[in-house]
Amino acid sequence: MEIKVPELSLVLLIGSSGSGKSTFAAKHFNQYEVVSSDICRGIVSNDENSQKASQDAFDVLNFIIEKRLKNGLLTVVDATNVQKQARKNLLNLAKKYHTLPVALVLDMPQKVCEERNKEREDRNFGNHVIRNQQQQLRKSIRGLKKEGFRKTYVLKGEEEVEAVTGVVREKLYNDKKDVHGPFDIIGDIHGCYDETIELLEKLGYLIDQVEDNGSNYGIEVTHPEGRKVIFLGDLVDRGPKSPEVLKLVMSMVRSEVALCVPGNHDIKLQKKLSGRDVQLKHGLEVTMEQLEGASDAFLEDVREFLYSLVSHYILDNGKLVVAHAGVKEEMQGRGSGAVRSFCLYGETTGEIDEFGLPVRYNWASEYRGSAKVVYGHTPVPEAEWFNKTIDIDTGCVFGGKLTALRYPEEELISVDAAKVYSEPVKPLEAGSSSGMSHQQEYDDLLVIDDVIGKRIVQTRLRNNLTIKEENSIAALEVMSRFAINPKWLIYLPPTMSPCETSDLPNYLEHPKEAINYFKKRGVEQLVCEEKHMGSRVVLVVCKNEEVVLKRFGIENEGIGVCYTRTGRNFFNDQTIEKEFLSRVQSALMESGFWEQFDTDWVCLDAELMPWSAKAQSLLKDQYAAVGTSAQKSLSAVEEVLQKTQSRGVEGIEQLLSKVTDKRGTVDKYIDAYRNYCWEVKSISDYKLAPFHILATEGHVHVDKDHQWHMEKIQSICEADKEIFRVTPYKIVNTKSEESIEEVIDWWTDLTSKGGEGMVVKSFDFITRGKEGLQQPAIKCRGSEYLRIIYGPEYDLPENLERLKNRGLSRKRSLALREFALGIESLERFVQQEPLRRVHETVFGVLALESEEVDPRL
Amino acid sequence: MLLNITTTHQPASVLGFMLHKHPDKLQTVKLSIGKAHVFYPESSEEKTTVSLLLDIDPIDMVRGGRNLSGKGFALGQYVNDRPYVASSFMSVALSKAFSTAMNGKCSHDPSLVDVEMPFEVSLTSLPAPKGGELLIRNMFEPLGYEVELERYTLDEKFTEWGDSKYFTLNLKHILKLKDLLSHLYVLIPALDNDKHYFVSNNEVEKLLDKGKEWLKNHPEKEQITKRYLFNLSHLSRKALEQLRDEDVAENEVEENVKKETLHTQRLKLVLEKLLASGAKNVIDLGCGEGKLIRMLIKEKQLEKIVGMDVSYQDLTKCRERLHWEEMAPKQKERIDLFQGALTYQDDRLAGFDAATIVEVIEHMDESRLQSFERVVFEFAKPKTVFLTTPNGEYNVLYESMEENTMRHTDHRFEWTRAEFETWANKVAETYNYTVSFLPIGEEDSKVGAPSQMAIFNHGN
């Protein structure tokens, strides 16, 4: 004999001491599934039989059960459970976590129990205890179903217990994780048959009349691509053709071209058809009228069909959940009366509004689940995503439209209602007055719990990334004290690793190693881009301020923003920023960018020059200061050494030549930083060199290669040659020595003229090799530039030798993690995810940046 | 990096004996991170010059966790003026290379030690931040030196960047060699005012030892001590105490009592008003190192005291100052400290009778204030809010302040009284509070008090 229990259930073993509960549990369930009261007694008192420890033991028992149920795990309670009160407590726990309770009674003869207890040295209670328990058990058995157990098994005597061959776990009805779609999810129909047909046709379904086979009502619906419809319930009431809708849906569900969850109206109809006393209100009277004269067989068919509907479904590996009124995360995939009621009616606050309708509580505003929830029930003028949930009831019966959500495409397709079939009691909730979406209004303020503490961020490129608490702590300070409005912050760039150190005598870095990084990993084609020496900036530019409001939810902050790699404003002066951004915007317009990309905003990754524009204080306090003090000191030193040398003091000559060498390096150092400085008198003195078109509406452009980026950017640059600077680049074939030589020559020439160096990237934006994701870019800096990083004298032979010993693994690991997070944030923004989801990832980049790593790398 | 000492004492050759360094040899002493060379560019009976040259290894300087840079700039320790300037390294080199002379010994002829001789000194490059030429003169001239200075421009190509903090310093004086050396030993690092080679309690002894003859009577002794000890107040206090005559010390203490700082006045006023509001629990938003918290815990009226700040470092200091670790469990229960930011909605901030927000909002960009308002007034919703911010109008009365600057480099704005009141009134109206205003500090008839407070009461 097999015992069947729901996959997620709370199984109570019921039997007196010595009835064999533990043996049974050990045989049929897994180690962790069984929670035993005796073991809990032992844990809190070192004595499994201590009655004194009962209270503590049951506290522990309940605690463990709660944690397991919360985590959705089947749990077996190994305790006598012969008292009604004890069972009631456990039933309450099952209810709290929407878990189905199962009773499994081991009804053993008293003798067997007594003998078994005798065999156990640790059990020294008298037989009267067992007798009592046996009596309580007998009393209990009949009432178990009434107590609330969904399933009850009573095993009488040793034979029946022995006869159990196994415990089968049954999937819950709502578990359709193995159904993957693609789906077309349709909102509340309310008898709008014509619109439904029109929508199905628009979605590409073929609707044929076929012979009535007794269950299909002569309708056959198919989709050439095998798509499936999901009806979100409220098929009936208010509208003109509820019976037709029922026939259509029943036929589609039965031929497995559709799934259907029940709505509150459907359930009310079902109750009415079952002969229950239901008031003929809210459109039910219309349906009943339409059903007049229908055959009893049809009515019975409808009743059965509606009765069979399951409150909600978990689909596509748990990524999609559908329910008429939505369903909270903790209820998804569970079964209880509360779950069913939530799915049908949603959550109400208990208050009644001025139209006499219950005030609905917006459960979606607190939704943090990973599954997308598609629902209906509350008519809205437009379907919009909100915290990964979407209400697609667009009030067709009230003269709105009937909407379908295509999944996984997430495309919304709708047909307008032919007329107003029913006057709504209250007007459809108008869109927000601020011009922002519901999501944006909600996102106006971020919540601290979404950023503090240890965090695990899921990314497309590198799965789970852990942000340590100490790094979140650092990031919180930087983010809240210095960063711009988080609504702008849709991306932060990753750090970039340099190449391995060169084995050539005079170089710390040389292109050979940068190219080799990729060559060794089997990358054949590279793009080498000149690295400009300015400040790394991210630009978000919109077509106009309306777009800023609509897409970013920001008001009165101009048409865009230009921020640094730590999320600070690049410009301190708002007027200059405004002027600068409007130049960029004009260039985008003139180059036809908006039309070409079918977008009204863009996020660009760029270098903004001159360096001196942002690094003014750094230059004055550090670079020029070191230069001038070194120059003056060293020439004074040279002078006294020359004098001393003329006196013929031994050893001075060597010292003098060392000082002369140092002086030479200081002169070069001053030249080096001067290269990156010029005075900014007007906007035209800024030079902007974009190198990635990161994202536009609907797209994160990491699927394009770097040549594409360079070419597209060039056409923007041509629209305003004064402030844009085109980035020179070379394409390298790593299999051709000639090609490598060519780029080395190019780099040598570039850096000898004071250029910072170059960035080597694989041709494709994202490349994976055996070790997984590869570095998005490797920088190779010129010898002179490195002076301003490693200090003027870095390349004196005795110094260079020591500096070549440097480790890159930490830097590279950081670069990859930050890259994955950066791309993730763009993807999330483009997919219109809630701000906290975008913010989480940029916050992560900032947090990682607080990890200590050699700043010279 | 270079110190030249010239004497025209007759015979000038005694300099070599006194320094215990042979005039015809290049001599090198080892320092912890490099070397110092001693040699003589000039040596005759009429005139002798000795040079002390620092030869600091810039790579070694940053090895093994020795971070000798200033703060803020990550690369600062690599691109650094330390190898090229006269800093505490020069003092270390002086004491190593010329220890005998500094200690007033001369085995060749002990009588020379107390002879006052004409000296000319040149130092390149000497940094003198926050004070420049005037400071250098104020330090050397009271000791009798004739001072000549050359200040360097930062970069000749970019003259708009202005002058640097570096000088070539030429000194002339007739004095004992050991005094000259001890003056240089103390004044070079005091002028440099940068992170020290190291600063420890030992450093106080060194300062007192080298300055025992002259520092006590130097008019700039306070400034010299503070800068020499790199503004580590606990050390400079200790040193100054030891330099002071007892009666002088008493006078100064009295003055300290009379002149309460503006910040103390501000905190006292907040405390007074807070207690008067009847609050039993309070949250200090932006508690920093916990100056206000330490005042609050003394008040019996307050049952629960919570401090929040965005800076973890400040919170750590706050804990230290409260002696958190040693606190009794009951006390600990009364106090709670955590990190948070006023631009994020935070349930931990809700449910308080009062919130204090002392000198916080001016550290936020004005564009972020809207979030702040919602966090505090819409969600945390304390019954009473005590909020202070500087009064920008008052800045004209601060003589040392340049025009269009603010009291603190991190201030994003300093509102006038009218601006503050407009903002506060709007906030009160939006979130159902009533608001009243109070000046903090002595009021000027034209520009008001230096600081201002708004008290918001929820409801009517």
Q: Do A636 and B2 touch (CB under 8 A)?
A: yes
CA distance A685 to A687: 6
The reply to whether B90 falls in a domain is: yes
The ipTM assigned to this model is 0.84
C-alpha dist (Å) from residue A30 to A37, A62, A568, B383: 16, 19, 54, 54
Is residue A174 classed as helix, strand or coil in its secondary structure?
Answer: coil
User: Which chain A positions have a beta carbon within 8 Å of B49's beta carbon?
Assistant: 640
Write the CATH number for A62: 3.40.50.300
> Which of B265, B271, B272 is closest to B284 using CA atoms?
B271
pLDDT at residue B171, rounded to an integer:
96
DSSP-derived pairing of the beta strands A778-781 and A757-762: antiparallel
Number of domains in chain A: 4
A448 touches chain B (CB under 8 A): yes
User: Which chain A positions have a beta carbon within 8 Å of B413's beta carbon?
Assistant: none
> B44 with B189, same domain?
yes
The reply to whether B60 falls in a domain is: yes
Q: Do A649 and B40 touch (CB under 8 A)?
A: yes
The reply to whether A851 falls in a domain is: no
Share of chain B above pLDDT 90, in %: 64
Q: Which of B79, B152, B346 sits opposite A788 (nearest CB)?
A: B79
Tally the residues of chain A.
857
Least confident among A37-51, B85-99, B400-414: B400-414
> A306 with A240, same domain?
yes
Give residue-wise pLDDT tens across range B242-296. Answer: 665 443 433 333 334 445 688 899 999 999 999 999 999 999 999 999 999 999 9
> B189 with B277, same domain?
no
C-alpha dist (Å) from residue A204 to A3, A224, A229, A418: 45, 8, 11, 20
Integer-rounded Cα radius of gyration of chain B: 28
pLDDT at residue A810, rounded to an integer:
92
pLDDT over 60 (residue B65): no
Domain end (from A431, A458, A474) = A431
User: In A, residues 777-816, which contact B (CB 8 Å cutoff)?
Assistant: 788-794, 799, 802-803
The reply to whether A762 falls in a domain is: yes
Nearest CA of chain A to the CA of B169: how many Å? Answer: 12
The reply to whether B206 falls in a domain is: no
**Interchain CB contacts (distance < 8 Å): A and B:** 182
- Domain span at residue A229 reads 175-431
User: Average pLDDT of chain B?
Assistant: 87
Domain end (from B158, B182, B197) = B197
Torsion of CA A323, A328, A331, A337, to 10 degrees: -70
CA distance A287 to A191: 8
CA distance A325 to A262: 10
Domain end (from B197, B217, B235) = B197
pLDDT at residue B71, rounded to an integer:
41
Side-chain half-sphere of B136: how many Cα atoms within 13 Å? 23
Which residue numbers in chain A have pLDDT < 70?
124, 428-435
Mean of pLDDT values over B106-126: 93
What is the pTM (predicted TM-score) of this model? 0.81
> A600 with A638, same domain?
no
> B352 with B444, same domain?
yes
Q: E strands, A376-487, where?
A: 385-386, 389-391, 401-407, 411-416, 446-447, 455-459, 463-467
In terms of CA atoms, which chain A residue is nearest residue B376? A445
CA distance A174 to A343: 12
The reply to whether A219 falls in a domain is: yes
Q: B111-134 as b/e, with b when 16 or more CB fall inside 10 Å?
A: ebbeeebebbbbbbbbbbbebbee
How many other C-beta atoms lie within 10 A of the C-beta of residue B398?
11
> A599 with A632, same domain?
no
The reply to whether A448 falls in a domain is: no
Q: Do A641 and B153 touch (CB under 8 A)?
A: no
User: Which chain B positions have a beta carbon within 8 Å of A619's beta carbon?
Assistant: 161
Mean of pLDDT values over B200-215: 80
User: In A, residues 474-533, which contact B (CB 8 Å cutoff)?
Assistant: 474, 476-477, 479-481, 484-485
User: Which chain B positions have a beta carbon within 8 Å of A561's beta carbon?
Assistant: none
pLDDT at residue B211, rounded to an integer:
85
Q: Do B41 and A643 touch (CB under 8 A)?
A: yes
How many other C-beta atoms lie within 10 A of the C-beta of residue B16?
18
Give residue-wise pLDDT tens across range B69-84. Answer: 444 445 566 788 888 9
User: Which chain A positions have a beta carbon within 8 Å of B39's beta carbon?
Assistant: 640-641, 644, 649, 652
Give residue-wise pLDDT tens across range A219-267. Answer: 999 999 999 999 999 999 999 999 999 999 999 999 999 999 999 999 9
CA distance A432 to A448: 25
* Best of A446, A472, A611, A644 to mutate (most B CBs within 10 Å, chain B): A644
Phi and psi angles of residue A467, each rounded to the nearest 5 degrees, phi first? -110, 120
User: Which chain B positions have a beta carbon within 8 Å of A480's beta carbon?
Assistant: 310, 341-344
> A106 with A218, same domain?
no
The reply to whether A554 falls in a domain is: yes
Cis omega before residue A262 (within 30°)?
A: no
Residue B56's region, left for phi above 0, alpha for psi from -120 to 50, else beta, is: beta
Write the CATH number for A234: 3.60.21.10
Write the CATH number for A824: 3.30.470.30
The reply to whether A357 falls in a domain is: yes
Is residue A77 classed as helix, strand or coil in its secondary structure?
Answer: strand
pLDDT at residue B66, rounded to an integer:
47
How many other C-beta atoms lie within 10 A of the C-beta of residue B162?
11
The reply to whether B69 falls in a domain is: yes
> B187 with B272, same domain?
no
Number of domains in chain B: 2
Q: Do A793 and B43 touch (CB under 8 A)?
A: no
Q: Do A477 and B310 touch (CB under 8 A)?
A: yes
> A369 with A425, same domain?
yes
CA distance A620 to A813: 34
- Domain span at residue B306 reads 262-458
> A162 with A185, same domain?
no
Write the CATH number for B362: 3.40.50.150
In terms of CA atoms, which chain B residue is nearest residue A786? B79
CA distance A68 to A790: 56
Tokens found for residue A99: 């878990």
* Tokens 């005759």 sit on residue: B44
CA distance A449 to A455: 10
A473 touches chain B (CB under 8 A): yes
In terms of CA atoms, which chain A residue is nearest residue B4? A640
Q: Do B124 and A632 touch (CB under 8 A)?
A: yes
Write the CATH number for B32: 3.30.1610.20
Compute CA B252 distance to the chain's CA centroid, rounded to the nearest angstrom. 21
The reply to whether A450 falls in a domain is: no
The reply to whether B213 falls in a domain is: no
Is residue A546 classed as helix, strand or coil in its secondary structure?
Answer: helix
Share of chain B above pLDDT 70, in %: 88
Domain end (from B178, B197, B216) = B197
> A662 with A563, same domain?
no
A677 touches chain B (CB under 8 A): yes
> A156 with A206, same domain?
no
The reply to whether A464 falls in a domain is: no
Mean of pLDDT values over B440-458: 94
Within chain B, how many helices (H) and strands (E) appear?
Answer: 16, 15
